[in-house]
Amino acid sequence: MASAKIADVGNSLLGWYDAHARTLPWRAPPGSDAVPDPYRVWLSEVMLQQTTVAAVKDYFARFIERWPTVEALAAAEDAEILAAWAGLGYYARARNLIACARAVAAAGAFPDTEDDLRALPGLGAYTAAAVAAIAFGRRAVVVDANVERVVARLFAIAEPLPPARAAIRAATDRITPERRAGDFAQAMMDLGATVCTPREPRCLLCPLSDVCEGRRLGIAAELPKKAAKKPRPERTGTAFWIERDGHVLLVQRPGNGMLGGMRALPDDGWSAKADGTGNAAFPLASGTALGAVTHGFSHFGLTLTLRTASLAGGPPDGEWWPVARIGEAGLPTLFARAADLAMASRSD
């Protein structure tokens, strides 16, 4: 792309953004005097990793209502935060959220440079760049999945992902302006989400259509190209519904690993690498099979059989949770589905 056309990208895109920016609860509208709140920007960016805006909005609103500042979030109990996160998925983000909030609260404020943001727990290259640009107006190269798609088409980068990411980042760097870098980053995200969509891009509405190499070559809809996915392994496991006096036994999963630190039903040790053993880690008298639930994790699928059981020895570490309030336990989606199955069987 010629240098004159590169210079046009920023102006064209920012003009489009001023007129068409999405209204989102964590944003300062373009052209307003509002100053972006670093806490809200950071919280939204962590929540939005591998998750849609539609899925995040309600969670964001509940977090902000309950913990309106990073100091309030830092002071909360781990279990409270993990329970509030339940259902949003990718639970390592919640653990990193807790660690980062406490580091920021201890420091007194968010750092305002990309390098210093990278030093915070759980902030990778993308999140650090996004917070630096959006919250602090720093020039930073912000590349998420939407930006990858826009830039791959804009420059007709035909190399498949993930190897193409280096070229996409370099091209994004070329078009990122010194001024309004935060608005530019958000404009790129909005363009990818609403116009330069994965399927059937709306090129006639795009402010960059005149300089888009992918459109000129007739290959925009084919980009970015992706390497063939490897088959996803399928795992099996068993969870146990252990009920006593109107309460069900819940355990806390280990801090590291799948669904780390979350409340859950006891299970048989299934993992991304192996099926479960069929037996819990403590003595049980197994009862009736109630059915099975399926769940797709990022790297494998799981079919989890649910069985009733009773303790055959002393109670393990855990808590007896009122069955009538199981919806308040903050179970991750997999175990919430299993609990729904158990509740349905009780009412049959």
Q: Which of 45, 77, 80, 213 is catalytic?
A: 45
* Tokens describing residue 251: 């355990």
Cα–Cα distance measured from residue 28 to residue 221, given in angstroms and rounded to the nearest whole number = 32
269's enclosing H/E stretch is: none
Tell me, what DSSP letter sits at residue 50?
T
Half-sphere exposure in the Cβ direction for 31 (13 Å, CA)? 9
> Which one, of 286, 294, 240, lies nearest residue 267 by Cα?
240
Is the CB of residue 295 less than 8 Å from the CB of residue 333?
yes
* E strands in 35-113: none
Concerning whether 213 is annotated as a catalytic residue, the answer is no
The string of DSSP codes covering 210-243 is GG-HHHHHT-GGG-S-BPPPPPPPEEEEEEEEEE
Active centre residues (catalytic): 45
